[in-house]
Amino acid sequence: MMQETISFTPQLAASPITGLLWLIPAVPMVASGVIALLKQPRRKISATLAIGSLSFSLLLSLVAFGHVLAGWAHGAAVRETVNFTWIQAGTSHVDLGWVLDPLSAVMLVMVTLVGLLIFIYSVGYMEHDENFTRFFCFMSLFAGAMLGVVIANSLLLLFIGWELVGLTSYLLIGFWYQKPAAAAAAKKAFLTTRIGDIFFLLGIVWLFSQTGTLLFYNDGAGTLEAAALAGLLAQPAALGLTAAGAIGLLIFCGAAGKSGQLPLHVWLPDAMEGPTPVSALIHAATMVAAGVYLIARVYPLMQAGALAGGTTTALTVVTWVGASTAVFAALIAVAQNDIKRILAYSTISQLGYMMAGLGMGGVAVGMFHLITHAFFKALLFLGAGSVIHGCHGEQDVRKMGGLRADMPLTFLTYAIGMLALCGFPIFFSGFWSKDGILEAAQHWSVAKTPFYLLVFGALLTAFYMTRQVGYVFFGFWRGGKPAHESPAVMTLPLVILALFAMGLGLIGTPAWPWFRAFLESRTVGFDWHGFAEPGLLALMGTSTLVVFLGLGLGWKLYGGQSPKPEEPDVLEQTAPLPWGWLRDRLYVDELYGVTVIAFYWWWARVADWLDRRVWGGAVAGVAWAFRGWAHFNRLLDTNWVDGGFDKGCEELASSGGLLSRVQTGRVQTYLRILALAVAALAAILIWSSRA
Amino acid sequence: MSFAFYLIAALTLAGGLAAVLLKNTVHCALALTVAFAGQALLFLDLDAQFAGFAQILVYIGAVAILVVFAILLTKGSETPKGGVYSKHWLAGLVIAAAVFSMLGWAVIWSVHAVPRGPVGTPAVTVLDIGNALMSRYVLPLEIVALLLTAAMIGAVIIAMHEKERAK
Amino acid sequence: MTERLDLIFVLIQQWLVGFLPGAWRPAAGVVLSVVAIVCLFPALFALTTVFERKGLARIQNRIGPNRVGPLGILQPIADGIKSLTKEDIVPLSADAVVHFLAPVLLVVAVFMGFAVLPMGRNMALVDMDAGLLFFFAIGASTELSVFMAGWSSRNKYSLLGAMRAVAQMISYEVPLLLSSVAVVMITGSLSLTKIVAAQNQYTWGLPHWYIFTPWGLAGFLMYAIAATAETNRSPFDLPEGESELVAGYHTEYSGFKFALFFLGEYLAMFSISGLGTTLFLGGWSAPLQILGWVPSWIWFFSKLMLSIFVFIWLRGTLPRLRQDQLMNFAWKFVLPLTLLNLMVAAAWRFLGDGWERWVICSAVVVIAYTGMAWAGMRHGHFGPRSYRYAE
Amino acid sequence: MNPLAGFLLVAALLFSIGLAGALTRRNAILVLIGIELMLNAANLNLIAFWRYGPHPEALTGMMFAIFSIAVAAAEAAVGLGLVIHLHRHAHTTDLDAMNRMRG
């Protein structure tokens, strides 16, 4: 017998802040619900609600972060969970819960902080949009869902948040649904990520069938804890994989879909059809990073069975996919002209770096790049938004130019973001986080190719960013109406993000690997000898060299010159053929067009034919048979049955005439009959009970 | 059977009879309130204080006023031409008498079969009633609340004057 | 000595009853109390009429009655004699029986309300378990007498006045009841003596009157508004608006019957003030602990007279409302706020004894009042509006 | 006489009076008045059974009567609303005159 109950009794005595952790996603969600009920003209209230709720979440996240920090300072690895049973069906039950540990604490602070800044920025950016309240409704919903993903202690809760995040992404990409391109992009994003999600769901179901729980941590009974992992390792799957490895790969498919890894990256560039703050928040800083976060979250599962210093099949796949995505996307970015599209490919590329970092260096390496990237990529997108805003909606870099004079603040912050992304040495966070990944790649035991791929990617990154900045901010103005600087509500978040883009590198230098120690709950001290590790300085030198090479190459080709929009690109003049390939995004979309979509087209034709010919024919045959039977019946009816019925109906009509005399339409007649009937009934009852 | 009971019963029945028999509709309504008041007194005689006061509050304070309003709104206080009784008044009277004889017979025949409760006044306070309403009878209470809301909306909609929109 | 003074009426009653044989004593005690009430309140009524006329005169910069007796103190006696000796006119087409019954029913019903009011320590005529319900049940039947008066007079002004009065009384009875229910929720009893006993406690020498709580203050305001309307006093005196309806439902009454109506209205004012005093102002309890030696009935009647003074003050100050404003005010402002007040009272009950309940309840009440007032002003619910004639 | 029987007989009489009124009067409002009397008689029965029944502390009859009073109030409101509507529609409250089944 099915028995469904919802009991909300936490199983563990957790600290007060962990008990209240659910408020962090809940408050923006509630705000979203309230905003959904508001009318469109209520701009101020909706923006206030969204920003206020997220500020509250930020505050709580900071408290949670402080709690974890305090625990760490006392030498304890903080991992507090609150679990509860969601569905109880017979003896088996599905549990949900949330967890507070260094990983989720860091992500909470990042998501709420970046989110808050982007919300504030949106007030300025979306100022003239008629669907202002709808925008903030979706954004708040997104923030809530994303925070839900972050605090989830259950693969199921994570998946719920994951799908909600996908939904809001769909809604926001198609925010200007009047534009056909936006509507198509939204559908594309939704369907493409769904492919990954199906595999992810398969992995979840498999995991549940193997371990009977979806909780990550549950006092030794969670899926990420030793007992369950040992069980998974003992279970062989196909192709020489263990169950743990196979599930890990399935989960990685979901992550690849969401994080735009090869070959499911095609939706992300098109997603730039959405408003720019959306691109910044969802498609650069947070949602696409959710895939990386997912891998980091289930890292024990991915790593299960690895020997000391070794790696697993799952992690190897992650590494290869990440490294090739990094180079692949960076190559395409070189030949793009849309300011946001360049950034989108750059995001894909950087996500590849993170994946590779996770695969080769562990959670800390990947996560560090995730955090720094979130800040500088949000900065770049918001800067791009500011540029677009200032250029009256123009997105083509060839039609800009010389903006450093018109938009000084935007230029300054954009330059900081760009240098951070390129990995300009010492002062910018990107340098340190990318360096961590390169170092891990250098020491990887399986192969050296990823290292070379990533170094090449770094060179390309520096090159295409220089190209973009050269086009946009240097040279002379090639557009129509002169550009103007954006209002303070937009530039202020830029400045704050720029500060973070520079300063965040300090917490992850080899001399003071604070971030890594925090995630792994080790003690840390400041030590110059961190730089003295063999090969490290050489590596840093290499990467610096590569960056300068990229910057210099870019500056040489694009700096200060301002080709007309109609003129072919400098590179196109030298090598038109590969340039064409790159401009057309290496034909991945077309490949899908001739393979997947063509197959579906063909299959739809087949199904259509089947429907028309086979099933339709069968149905038509049956219909014919029934029609024949019906004709036969009609003959019978008209000759035999009707006569009898007519006779009966005449009888009924005459008796109905008798009865209709009672139906006078007078209420009191009815009442009278009713009363008589009651009296008679009472008499019968009493009489019968007497006997 | 105390003297008070006979007095109150007589008052109630007289009020009821007057409500049914009088010619002027408003007088009928006023006689009806007398019957309601007598009924409330009967409740008090039965130690049902709460029900008695509720009876006064609801019936005299609301239902009687409603009836009076309805009479005035339908101009019902004027005596109609064809008399106040319907054509088939004799049939109605006979049926009512039949029902009464049936009920009276049933009461007299079966009342001794009812098991007797404890002698003396039952100690029921308003607090007990409140507790019962909030625990055992909470579902009926909610349903009645819903019903009252529905009835209120329904009555308003039925009686609302549909104005033709001239604009 | 102070205790004796406190219980002086109870003692006098017992002393008087002591002369009778034992079997008659309970009945005689009740009769004595009834006689006391029936004598006391008309006397108070006489005093109040002159007080009101004097007070209104002060407000309007006049002198007021000053011919009969010193400073016009004996004016009510002269008025009484006048109305008793006047001719009792019954209109020819009037329904004589109903015309006669209406004022009698009014006065009887109003007098019955006093039975449950605790006018001092141990000074409630009947300590009924459902006292508050009794009070409202009896109060509801006064509407009927108003209707009877208006209808039986066969005068269109009387009928219009009566219909207005009944509609108004029904409309304002709802918030009146609801604001009292808040008190019942907190006290957990419908018995008025228990309600007073619950308020007769002191912290730091200050009383626990319900008016000193957020929900109590809000409830008292609503109660005062509804009570003013329920007794057809200015600014809600439309049913008797002499400029529109001559004198409302008692246009066709003269002489003693008119005096009865007059008496009935004032008695209703007394009883509703007495109930307000009992529910929100601590009944007969002293305002400060150190004043506890003053006899309890003095406190009750002082508070009663204070309320009467406020009634008079309002009458002298505020202009009359329009019918649509009156109804809108009842259903769109007073009723929602009393409903909210119920929730605030419930929150108060379940938030425990800490300071949080003060903060939360006060905040809710203040926000609701300012919000409603703001919205009302903004959408013009209380502002000027074109008049829709009765159809 | 058994006290319960007294109350029951009074209730039966009241019920029959109400029924007679509902059956013989022409005015729709008077029919409603008759029905109100019948409801009251039923309530009296409930209270009487509660008072003289075996378990007065269970409050069953009392509760039934209280709910019945509440429902009767709703019934009166809707019924009178209908009568007013009918009057507006047919310009009469005479039930004998209202025998058309169509509007």
- pLDDT for A4 equals 39
Q: What is the pLDDT of residues C294-352, one digit of tens each?
A: 888 888 889 999 999 898 888 888 877 777 778 888 888 888 889 888 988 888 888 87
CB A438 within 8 A of CB A536: no
CA distance readout (Å), A151 to A78, A81, A362: 14, 10, 20
Q: Which residues of B touch A662 (CB under 8 A)?
A: none
Write the residue in D19, D28, D100 that is nearest to A665 by C-beta: D100
Residues B71 and B40 in one domain: yes
pLDDT digits (tens, 9 = 90+) for A94-132: 888 888 888 889 899 999 999 999 898 888 888 888 888
Nearest neighbour of B60 by CB, restricted to C98, C130, C144: C144
Residue C253 lies in a domain: yes
Report the residue of chain B nearest D35, measured CA to CA: B20
Contact B103 A682 (CB under 8 A): yes
Using the beta-carbon criterion (under 8 Å), do A664 and D99 form an inter-chain contact? Answer: yes
Q: For residue C381, what pLDDT band results from cuts at 50, 70 and 90?
A: low
> Which stretch of A130-134, A561-565, A611-615, C322-326 has the lowest confidence by average pLDDT?
A561-565
Give the range with max mean pLDDT: A146-150, A298-302, A528-532: A146-150
CA distance A101 to A108: 10
Q: How does the average pLDDT of chain B come out, rounded?
A: 83
Minimal CA–CA distance to A675: which of C55, C297, B102?
A: B102
Higher per-residue confidence, D94 vs A410: A410
* Residue C290 within any structural domain of the chain: yes
At C41, phi and psi to the nearest 5? Answer: -70, -40
List beta partners, residue A92.
Answer: A89
- Of residues A515, A534, A502, A532, the one with CA closest to residue A417: A502
Q: How far is CA A143 from CA A53, A62, A365, C256, in A?
A: 10, 16, 25, 77
The first and second tokens of residue B158, run together, are 């039925």
Place of tokens 């006078």: A664
Which domain CATH number covers B23? 1.20.120.1200
- Identify whether residues B67 and B105 lie together within a single domain: no
D57-72 average pLDDT score: 88
Record the tokens describing residue A674, joined without a space.
């009713």
Interface test with B, best of A669, A674, A681, A687 (most B CBs within 10 A): A669
How far is residue B31's CA from residue A271's CA, in Å, rounded to a whole number?
A: 79
- Residue C8: inside a domain: no
**If we measure between CA atoms, which residue out of A508, A519, A528 comes closest to residue A437?**
A508
SS3 A83: strand
- Say yes or no to pLDDT of A8 above 70: no
Confidence of residue A6 (pLDDT cuts 50, 70, 90): very low
pLDDT tens, C211-234? 888 888 889 988 998 999 888 887
Residue B26 with chain C: CB contacts under 8 Å? 98, 151
pLDDT tens for C122-142 read 788 888 888 888 898 888 888
User: Does A637 have pLDDT greater than 80?
Assistant: yes
Q: What is the pLDDT of residue A594?
A: 81
Q: What is the pLDDT of residues C254-285, one digit of tens each?
A: 888 888 888 888 899 999 999 999 999 888 88
Q: What is the pLDDT of residue D41?
A: 93
CA torsion through residues A441, A444, A448, A449, sign: negative
Of B91, B109, B110, the CB nearest to A672: B91
- Residues A282 and A275: their CA atoms lie apart, in Å, by 11
Say whether A667 and D31 touch across the interface (CB within 8 A). yes
- Rounded mean pLDDT, D70-93: 84
Calculate what percentage of chain D has a pLDDT beyond 70: 92
- B21-47: burial string, b at 16+ Cβ within 10 Å, e else: bbebbbbbbbbbbbbbbbbbbbbbbbb
Which helix (H) or strand (E) element contains residue A88? strand A80-89
Separation of alpha carbons A165 and A168, rounded Å? 5
Report how many domains make up chain D: 1
Does C206 have pLDDT greater than 70?
A: yes
Q: Does A661 touch chain D (CB under 8 A)?
A: no
C to A contact (≥3 Cβ pairs closer than 8 Å): no
**Per-state percent for chain C, helix, strand, coil, to nearest 5:** 70, 0, 25
Q: Which domain holds residue D26?
A: 3-97
- Same domain (yes/no): B26, B95: no
pLDDT greater than 70 at residue C390: no
Partners of residue D33 in chain B, C-beta under 8 Å: 19-20, 28-29, 32, 67
Calculate the average pLDDT of chain A: 84
Q: Is the pLDDT of residue A531 over 90?
A: no
Instruction: Choose the mutation target among B126, B129, B131, B160 for the interface with C, i.e. most C CBs under 10 Å.
Output: B126
Is the pLDDT at C40 greater than 90, yes or no? no
Averaged pLDDT, A557-566: 70
User: What is the nearest CA distance from B91 to chain A, expressed in angstroms?
Assistant: 8
**Domain CATH code at residue D22:** 1.10.287.3510
Interface contact B161-D8, CB threshold 8 A: no
Distance from CA of A688 to the nearest CA of D (A): 21
- Span A310-332, pLDDT tens digits: 678 888 888 999 999 998 899 88
State what percent of residues in chain B have pLDDT above 90: 17
Q: Which chains neighbour D (Cβ–Cβ under 8 Å, 3 or more pairs)?
A: A, B
pLDDT at C391 over 60: no
User: Closest approach of chain B CAs to the CA of A514, in angstroms?
Assistant: 60
Subunits adjacent to chain C (3 or more Cβ pairs under 8 Å): B
Higher local confidence (pLDDT), D16 or A243: D16
Q: Which of A672, A678, A686 is nearest residue B92 as measured by Cβ atoms?
A: A672
Return the CA Rg of chain C: 22
Nearest CA in chain B to C165: B65
Residue C108: phi, psi to the nearest 5?
-60, -45
Our CA dihedral for A644, A650, A653, A659, rounded to 10 degrees, sits at: -90
In the structure, what pLDDT confidence band is assigned to residue D102 with cuts at 50, 70 and 90? low
Residue A563 scores a pLDDT above 70: no
pLDDT digit string (tens) for B84-111? 777 777 888 888 888 888 888 888 877 7
Q: First-to-last CA distance in chain D?
A: 53
Residues A323, A457: Cα–Cα separation, whole Å: 9
DSSP structure class, residue C203: E
* Residue-level pLDDT at B166: 43
What percentage of chain C exceeds 90 in pLDDT? 4
Q: Which of A468, A493, A613 is nearest to A555 (CA)?
A: A468
Complex ipTM: 0.63
Q: Where are the alpha helices (DSSP H) in A238-390?
A: 243-259, 267-270, 276-280, 287-297, 299-303, 313-334, 339-361, 363-390
Give start and end residues of each alpha helix (H) in A83-217: 102-125, 132-151, 155-173, 180-211
Query: Domain range for residue B135?
Result: 123-167
Residue D86 has pLDDT above 70, yes or no: yes
* CA dist A10 → A7, A153, A427 (Å): 9, 13, 45
Q: For residue C273, give the 3-state DSSP assignment.
A: helix
Contacts of C140 in chain B (CB under 8 A): 56-57, 60-62
Residues C149-202 have pLDDT tens digits of 888 888 888 888 888 888 888 888 889 999 999 999 888 888 888 888 888 888
Please give the Cα distance from A421 to A408 (Å, whole number). 20
| Bond into A236 cis (ω within 30) | no
Residue of D nearest to A673 (CA): D23
C94 phi-psi bin (left φ>0, alpha ψ -120 to 50, beta other):
beta
Confidence of residue A10 (pLDDT cuts 50, 70, 90): very low
CA torsion angle for A395, A400, A406, A412 (degrees, to 10)? 70
Contacts of B98 in chain A (CB under 8 A): 676, 679
Q: What percent of chain A has pLDDT over 70?
A: 95
What is the count of residue pairs from B and D with beta carbons less than 8 Å apart?
Answer: 253
The residue that leads in pLDDT, D93 or A553, is: A553
Concatenate the DSSP letters of all residues of A464-526 into one string: HHHHHHHHHHSS---SSSPP-PPPHHHHHHHHHHHHHHHHGGGGGBTTB-HHHHHHHT-----
Note down the domain range covering C220: 78-372
Same domain, B68 and B104: no
Cis peptide bond N-terminal to C175, omega within 30: no
Give the DSSP per-residue string, C305-349. HHHHHHHHHHHHHPPPPPHHHHHHIIIIIIHHHHHHHHHHHHHHH
Q: Given CA atoms A583, A585, A586, A592 in this order, what sign does their dihedral have?
A: negative
pLDDT above 90: residue B35: yes
Our count of domains for chain B comes to 3
Going by the DSSP 8-state scheme, the letter that residue A181 receives in this structure is H
- Work out the average pLDDT over A471-485: 79
Task: Pick A662 or D44 by higher pLDDT.
Answer: D44
Residue C245 — very low, low, confident or very high, per pLDDT cuts 50/70/90? low
More confident residue, B118 or A92: A92
Q: For chain C, where are the E strands, in sequence order?
A: 202-203, 206-207
* A51-77 confidence digits (pLDDT tens): 999 999 999 999 999 888 888 888 777
Query: What percent of chain A is predicted at pLDDT more than 90?
Result: 13
The chain-wide mean pLDDT, for chain C, equals 83
Question: Does some domain include residue C388?
Answer: no
The residue-averaged pLDDT of A523-543 equals 77
Q: Which has more confidence, C204 or A344?
A: A344
Question: Both B29 and B14 in a single domain?
Answer: yes
Query: pLDDT confidence of C56, banded at 50, 70, 90?
Result: confident
Q: How confident is the model at residue B38 (pLDDT cuts 50, 70, 90)?
A: very high
Using the predicted structure, report yes or no on whether residue B164 has a pLDDT greater than 60.
Answer: no
pLDDT of residue C375: 76
Q: What total number of domains does chain C contain?
A: 1
Query: What distance in Å separates residue B166's CA from the closest CA in chain D?
Result: 20
SS3 call for C93: coil
Chain A residue numbers touching D96 (CB-CB < 8 A): 666
- The minimal CB distance from D99 to the residues A665, A672, A675 is found for A665
Beta carbons of A31 and A140 less than 8 angstroms apart: yes
CA dist., res. A398 & res. A338, Å (int): 8
Residue C89 maps to a domain:
yes
In a domain? residue D103 = no
Chain B interface includes D54 (CB < 8 A): yes
B9 and B73 share one domain: yes
What's the pLDDT band for B81 if we cut at 50, 70, 90?
A: low
Element (H, E) at A458: helix A449-473
What does the alpha-carbon distance between residue A414 and residue A494 come to, in Å, rounded to a whole number?
A: 8
Q: Do D21 and B19 touch (CB under 8 A)?
A: yes
| Chains B and D, touching by 3 or more CB pairs within 8 angstroms | yes
Residue whose C-alpha is closest to residue A505's, from A585, A411, A434: A434
Mean pLDDT calculated for residue range A259-286: 85
pLDDT of residue A11: 41
A188 or A593, higher pLDDT: A188
Alpha-carbon distance of A14 to A81, in angstroms, equals 7
